[in-house]
Amino acid sequence: MSLLHRRHLLIGAGLALPALARAQGGAGTVIFELKDGPVTIQLLPDLAPRHVERISTLVQRGFYNGTPFHRVIEGFMAQGGDPTGTGTGGSDLPDLPAEFSPPSRARFLRGVCGMARTSNPNSANSQFFIMFAPAPSLDGQYTVWGRVTSGMEAVDKIKRGSGQSGMVRDPDRLLRARLGA
């Protein structure tokens, strides 16, 4: 079985139960409606409470609805959350301080969701990415805020970009985002 087709995620036993997220005042999941179907993402507030709160706030505001997956690299990840589609846009909210987890608690494996940022570790705002395959070089360097629990096949069908940058012409879009249970 190739790394691209692994479905197992090693986040850690017992982390981020939906009940925990609800107890902290948020939803346990986010559902992204993509052209090829829904994607359910389990939120991980015990790893990144501020980032989970930010994602939840932006979902509630409808911020992500219609935003493009502007950077998509085969065998690596799909990046979205920038309404401009340029990779430089974000929300009107302030940037977030990093909430990096040590690799013993969270690793960037297939289906893991992280926050995009500039070279400044404290610059995450609204942009996120979903991993197609493991990327150990990201472990401990980017904030993990969720993991896909169903619908990874829809993520796999997101239109890929070209070149090393992975920028996508006429990109697929996140049609609608909503909070789940």
In a domain, 161, yes or no: yes
**What is the percent of the chain with per-residue pLDDT over 70, rounded to a whole number?**
85
In a domain, 169, yes or no: yes
Q: What is the enclosing helix (H) or strand (E) of 19?
A: helix 18-23
**CATH number of the domain residue 84 falls in:** 2.40.100.10
Q: What is the mean pLDDT of the chain?
A: 88
Reported as a single tens digit per residue, the pLDDT across 85-102 is: 999 999 999 999 999 999
In a domain, 20, yes or no: no
Give the Cα separation of 181 and 166 in Å (integer). 33
The residues that bridge with 150 in the sheet, in sequence order, are 40
Query: What's phi and psi for 51, nearest 5 deg?
Result: -70, -40
In a domain, 17, yes or no: no
What pLDDT, on the 0 to 100 scale, is given for residue 2? 27
For residue 181, what pLDDT band results from cuts at 50, 70 and 90?
confident
| pTM across the whole model | 0.86
